[in-house]
Amino acid sequence: MNDENLIEHAIKAYKNAICPYSKYSVGASILTTDNKIISGFNIESKAYPTTLCAERVAIFSALSQGYRKFSSLAVVTIDGGTPCGGCRQIIHEFAGDITIIISDIKKDYFKIMTKDLLPHPFG
Ligand code: THU
């Protein structure tokens, strides 16, 4: 699985985002160490704070399917936005120090490790 491939999965997820309030779509795809890809997108609720970010949907889906070891995570937005603080914590806690691929929908991307995205993490 190469980076561009994982980004393509995240772009597919991005296209299905449910974000009628912010209109800011986010797609995320996480790669397991045994080469499975689990994707998610942001899902917004009428009760705004109960919204879930794409990264957490992808990671929690993977965990609920029994996967525990991950090697990289691609996050796609229109402008190459980076994960929010809450998602950084969840990535750190449940995926560890993995490669995070931040991309826009044109596949213009860069890579960063969890420890650089969340220095001095809690826990
Ligand atoms: N969002 C994500 O999906 N991931 C992040 O890391 C930051 C924000 C979503 C939440 C909301 O649906 C929209 O982007 C605007 O904040």
Q: What is the mean pLDDT of each run of 10 residues along the chain (123 residues)?
A: 95 98 98 98 98 98 98 98 98 98 98 98 93
Any ligand 1 atom below 6 A from CB of 41: no
- With respect to residue 61, please indicate whether it lies within any of the assigned structural domains: yes
Q: Which residue has the tokens 């996480």?
A: 30
- With respect to residue 15, please indicate whether it lies within any of the assigned structural domains: yes
- With respect to residue 9, please indicate whether it lies within any of the assigned structural domains: yes
Angle between helices 54-64 and 3-15 (to 10 degrees): 110
- With respect to residue 123, please indicate whether it lies within any of the assigned structural domains: no
Q: Give yes or no: 8 in active site.
A: no
Tokens of 54: 């794409």
DSSP 8-state code for residue 83: P
Count of domains forming the chain: 1
Compute the distance from residue 42 Cα to the ligand 1 centre, in Å: 6
- With respect to residue 101, please indicate whether it lies within any of the assigned structural domains: yes
Indicate which CATH number applies to the domain containing 112: 3.40.140.10
Burial (0-12, 13-18, 19+ Cβ within 10 Å), 1: middle
Does the predicted model carry a pTM greater than 0.75? Answer: yes
Burial (0-12, 13-18, 19+ Cβ within 10 Å), 68: exposed
Please report the pLDDT score of residue 1 as a whole number. 78
Please report the pLDDT score of residue 73 as a whole number. 98
- 79 is in which domain, residue-wise? 3-117
